[in-house]
Structure 1
Amino acid sequence: MTTTTEERPQQGPKSWLREHSELGICALLVLLGALVLTDAVRIPTDFAQRGPVGPKAVPILVGSLLLVVAVLLARDVLRGGRGEAEGGEDVDLSAPADWRTVLLLCGAFLANAVLIGVVGFPISGAILFWGAAYALGSRNLVRDPLIAAGMSVVTFLVFNNLLGVPLPGGPLMEVF
């Protein structure tokens, strides 16, 4: 059964915004697309180019696609489309958000960002991996730091030695 506009209760601006909250994602996509395009245009033309595709091609493509997706999503939302609610059977939709876990993960990430230049990737990466495991519920105080250290060292070696992507080694640089 469809309702006419006369049968619907009057809606205020807050109610309309709440029903069209996906437009916030559209605005974020527009801002991100504009930022990518602005940065792409600023890439110097004398930048080393190998082959027919220059350094501006991919950022311009990505920025343009972000704008296209934003417009298509906005059109869908304004025509009444809505994102589907979480349908997983292991998700309790009535439970509040677990902000403790989110904050612990953010803390582990920020600690990595602050420490990577000081102590190098092997140590800061171990802190990141162990912090993420702890935030997500693992409480084995012997196994978790050992696995985190191993993952960090392996990641450092793969990026630094095999892929040729230099990561800060910190005081352990002489060892590797």
Structure 2
Amino acid sequence: MTTTGVPPEREERDERKDRRAWLREHSELGVCVMLLALGAVVLTDALTMDVEITQRGPVGPKTVPVAVGIGLLLVSVLLAVDVLRGGRGEAEGGEDVDLSEPADWRTVLLLAGVFLATAVLIEPVGFPVAGALLFWGAAYALGSRAVHRDPLIAAGLSLVTYAVFNNLLGVPLPGGPLMGVL
């Protein structure tokens, strides 16, 4: 027994519950930690960039990354102070998410699989085919079951995206074996 008359096991259990409750009430501190880490990475990368000394004007290639890194660090500290003072983020008025319902893991896993398949297939089969699979797979994972329409729309979107990036914007995307034929 402790001086309060409560067994030590129960007192320890109560302390853990209190700690968990405090963390749950201040869960936005996780965002602060993420922003702090991201800011540190961006700032470290910016300051260790290997840049030629010759530059035109007062603003060099390090300026924007350093400003973004400092901004991320500042926002993380200000947000942490706000959360610790009792500030809470409010849900948007248009959100219709029911937090009492469980997550739809089937959809999440299907989307993750589609993204992973696209990353693996983009080099061997090219962007037009991998992009079509990405668009069709995402539509399927999100509930569309129009089996005749979806693949055609996905192929069209993929070809248009490929043409815009490759030809108009000058961003080369892997064409794959089909681009030699077309």
The TM-score, its normalising length taken from structure 1, stands at 0.86
Which one of 92, 97, 104 corresponds to residue 98 of structure 1? 104
Alignment of 1:20-59 (within 5 A): 20-46=26-52, 49=55, 52-59=58-65
What are the ranges of 5 or more consecutive residues in structure 2 without an aligned counterpart? 1-13
Query: Which of 1 and 2 has greater Rg?
Result: 2
Which one of 50, 62, 71 corresponds to residue 65 of structure 1? 71
Match of 1:168 in 2: 174
What are the ranges of 5 or more consecutive residues in structure 1 without an aligned counterpart? 1-8
SS in 1 for 2:94: coil
Q: Distance in 2 between matches of 1:25 and 1:73?
A: 9
Match of 1:78 in 2: 84
Q: Give the root-mean-square deviation of aligned CA atoms.
A: 2.1
> Structure 1 residues 94 and 13 mapped into 2: Cα distance closer, same or farther (>3 Å)?
closer
Q: Following TM superposition, where does structure 1 have runs of at least 4 consecutive aligned residues deviating by more than 6 angstroms?
A: none
Which one-letter code corresponds to 1:106 in the other structure?
A
Q: Distance in 1 between matches of 2:97 and 2:21?
A: 26
**Is it true that 1:15 corresponds to 2:7 in the alignment?**
no
How far apart are 1:52 and its partner, in Å? 4.2
Q: Distance in 2 between matches of 1:119 and 1:73?
A: 45
Q: Distance in 1 between matches of 2:168 and 2:180?
A: 17
Match of 2:137 in 1: 131
Match of 1:3 in 2: none
How far apart are 1:104 and its partner, in Å? 1.1
Q: Distance in 2 between matches of 1:148 and 1:46?
A: 44
The TM-score, its normalising length taken from structure 2, stands at 0.84
Q: Is the 8 A contact 1:47 1:55 kept in 2?
A: no
